[in-house]
Structure 1
């Protein structure tokens, strides 16, 4: 069976609607899919209104947080989206996300780009704004040629749109997830560009607040990366997760269901459910 436990829809920064994503995942041979939109459970709320799905869909969410002033993401897998604690957490994060978007727009206005908030909102089609929506707006108005240039010039680390947001801390986020009966998983640890020593420190702190798992596989990554993360996962006795981190078609590094298998020594997170 193919488990893809990390994907996004138009309810955050993906390009497909929840139904379109589910159908594409089924076509790709995925058997179990987790929709993990950023600080949002709206996709699952939409799917609840639909008839039977062509595959099993796991209710999930990807929360934004910080660790030592570094942005990190925590997945809540197999959560009860009707949990009052989880819904309160989502509302908190949505408010923080809106304030962050307003500050990004202010910084971009100072850089000469007016109406960036309206432009990003138009791109998103909702109020769940992230830097990718601002990046697409900058592409749309011809300020940059592509996403990479948008982040390099305006939205990346140390640039005008790099706003340090006070998201909920890891302790609070893990509590929301576990109160909702879910499994708290550290998302794509390799993307934080940490030394091994700092990565282990992050994992230790995550465990200390109740974290239960980590993504050993995130998209198409190098075999040595998978091995290294599997070793940490095993040493720390964490559950292992895997996913494409799919956002849109046409990204070969993040295709639905197309990523390395979990190493045999790992205990898959779905065995915990």
Structure 2
């Protein structure tokens, strides 16, 4: 059983529509895929409607958080999307994306980069605009070679020359809100050092004590030693250890199913969730 619990669609900063994403997940041989767009659940209905037979959809979102000045992402699974408190916080985060992106475009122009807001908005389309869309514009302009190359201190990384902060959740509050909505929380790519400063293990322990369910140990931004370290940390703290691709379509080099989650861990996630249930595919035959 192949399970990928972290993917993105055009509802945020991926390049596959939700329907394309689930079809591609089936073609990649996945049995379970989670759609975890940034701070939004807008792609869930389309993904569920197009879900091929034999593929199960886990609904979720990747919540933008910050602790002690360090940015982190919290994967939330199988929560009630209509729970009002969590919905209100997601909307606050999402609504802050446009003014933040405009401010970063302005900083780039001050540095002599001929990027325009119209270009970034066109790349984002109907998705929630974010740094990956600006990074794609920099690739199109030949400023950097890849989207990942834009996430450095020279450009878009936390604390970088054109970084602009935005509204982000306190992760302890995020855990509380997701649990109140019947969901399960997993700290995404916690030691992805190339993205910028990471949360210290002491803070991860405090998050675990506050009810964090798991950490994403197996991820393209973690080398073998880091993955082993995170599996050990999860065992020490009593956390679930997941694996995921963090697929963004053609925007990043990661492939669907590049890293996967153990079926027993997936089973525990579904047992803990009460806000929503995995959606079995019935939208047509697998590719």
- How many residue pairs match? The answer is 269
Corresponding residue SS for 2:259: coil
- Comparing 169-178 with 72-81, which one deviates more in the overlay? 169-178
Instruction: Specify the alignment match of 1:228 in structure 2.
Output: 229
Aligned 8 A contact 1:227 1:263 in 2: no
Corresponding residue SS for 1:269: helix
Aligned 8 A contact 1:234 1:265 in 2: no
Instruction: Specify the alignment match of 1:5 in structure 2.
Output: 5
Q: CA deviation at 1:102?
A: 2.4
Q: CA deviation at 1:166?
A: 3.6
Structure 1 residues 53 and 176: CA distance shift in structure 2, 3 A: farther
Structure 1 residues 209 and 165: CA distance shift in structure 2, 3 A: farther
Q: CA deviation at 1:269?
A: 3.1
Q: CA deviation at 1:51?
A: 5.4
Instruction: Specify the alignment match of 2:216 in structure 1.
Output: 215
Instruction: Specify the alignment match of 1:245 in structure 2.
Output: 246
Instruction: Specify the alignment match of 2:76 in structure 1.
Output: 76
CA distance in 2, matches of 1:238, 1:24: 30
TM-score (norm. length: structure 1): 0.86
Aligned 8 A contact 2:12 2:129 in 1: yes
Runs of 4+ in 1 over 4 A off after TM superposition: 249-252, 260-268
Aligned 8 A contact 1:187 1:214 in 2: yes
Structure 1 residues 117 and 160: CA distance shift in structure 2, 3 A: farther
- RMSD across aligned C-alpha pairs, in angstroms? 2.9
- The equivalences for 1:148-163 within 5 A come to 148-152=148-152, 153-163=154-164
CA distance in 1, matches of 2:52, 2:256: 16
CA distance in 1, matches of 2:264, 2:91: 38
- The equivalences for 1:102-251 within 5 A come to 102-113=102-113, 116-126=116-126, 128-152=128-152, 153-192=154-193, 199-219=200-220, 221-249=222-250
TM-score (norm. length: structure 2): 0.82
CA distance in 2, matches of 1:220, 1:264: 24
Q: Unaligned stretches of 5+ in structure 2?
A: 274-287
Q: CA deviation at 1:76?
A: 0.4
